[in-house]
Structure 1
Amino acid sequence: MSLRFNYRTVSPSTFKAMMEMEKYISGRFADKVLYELLKIRVSQINGCSYCLDMHAKDLLKLGDYADHILQLALWREVPLFTEKERAMLELAEAVTRISEQGVPTDLYNRVREHFSEEEYVDLIMAVNVINSWNRIAIATGMYPGIF
């Protein structure tokens, strides 16, 4: 493994723009556990080891969530996750894999049982932001511990 280049130094304005978006969207989430679960699940789907490592560690700083991290890839199979978390995770997967089936109406309705319209927008934006981070990290060769 080797870093192709450090995009942060090559294009500081890009890094700054991404950090502004991250700062904005993270401030929209009162439930930091939910936000970290979203980022971990999307990073799992995208295969981003750098982001997966970072956000798993961030979640562990919030409490004893080791089981959540270990079982997140199979969240549908275990009773550990709340209905609200399940709705969010399903939406995060659908938006990350948007070309496969879009966001079906029944999923939208399940998510809306737990989230307002404004929170729904926040969820979509959070998925978009972590997808962007994942794509930057993967495309530039980032891996856990690189920085």
Structure 2
Amino acid sequence: MNRVNIQQVQPQAYQAMFGLEGYIAKSTIEANLQEMVRIRASIINGCQFCIGMHKDAATKLGESNERIAALDNWKTSDLFNEKEQAVLAATDEITNISVEGLSKETYTNLGMFFSEEEIAQLIMLAAIINAWNRIGVSMAS
């Protein structure tokens, strides 16, 4: 049995998601950092479509293939600075929210690099890519 294509049968749902994407597009979070969040969450969620799409986007923004590949095991890599590590830690915790939530330590680390508005944007970015991942994985055959 073919899986439902939500974009075809519920286009209003996709329009709502694109509205959230429009919000993130106006974010003050650097575009390459946004793509790292999208790739990392997609790796965790196993959304191959999103991984490929966001790897391409990151490459177009100048990210190296080495750094993109290192997102699989970013904790053991020396390719990411402290700011990027804080964002990737938050991405991991938000994506795996049932484990411990967004920990106080990780949230505090974000505060070293980002304003409250930017932290809100990062949380929304992680929530949006996780929603896209869940849609994509659910529709995959």
Runs of 4+ in 1 over 2 A off after TM superposition: none
For the residue of structure 2 that corresponds to 1:79, the secondary structure is coil
For the residue of structure 2 that corresponds to 1:63, the secondary structure is coil
* Equivalence map 1:119-138=2 (5 Å): 119-138=118-137
Q: CA offset at residue 26 of structure 1?
A: 2.5
Q: Name 2:93's counterpart in structure 1.
A: 94
> In the aligned structure 1, how far is the partner of 2:125 from the partner of 2:119?
10
- Deviations along 1:16-39, whole A, 9 cap, x unmatched? 111111111122144100000000
Higher relative contact order (CA 8 A, sep 6+): 1
Q: Once superposed, what is the RMSD of the aligned Cα atoms?
A: 1.5
Q: Structure 2: which 5+ residue stretches go unaligned? A: none
**1:112 to 2:111 alignment:** yes
- Deviations along 1:117-136, whole A, 9 cap, x unmatched? 11110000000000000000
**1:20 to 2:19 alignment:** yes
TM-score (norm 1): 0.90
**1:42 to 2:41 alignment:** yes
TM-score (norm 2): 0.94
Check whether the contact 2:33–2:84 (CA below 8 A) recurs between aligned residues.
Answer: yes
Q: Structure 1: which 5+ residue stretches go unaligned? A: 143-147
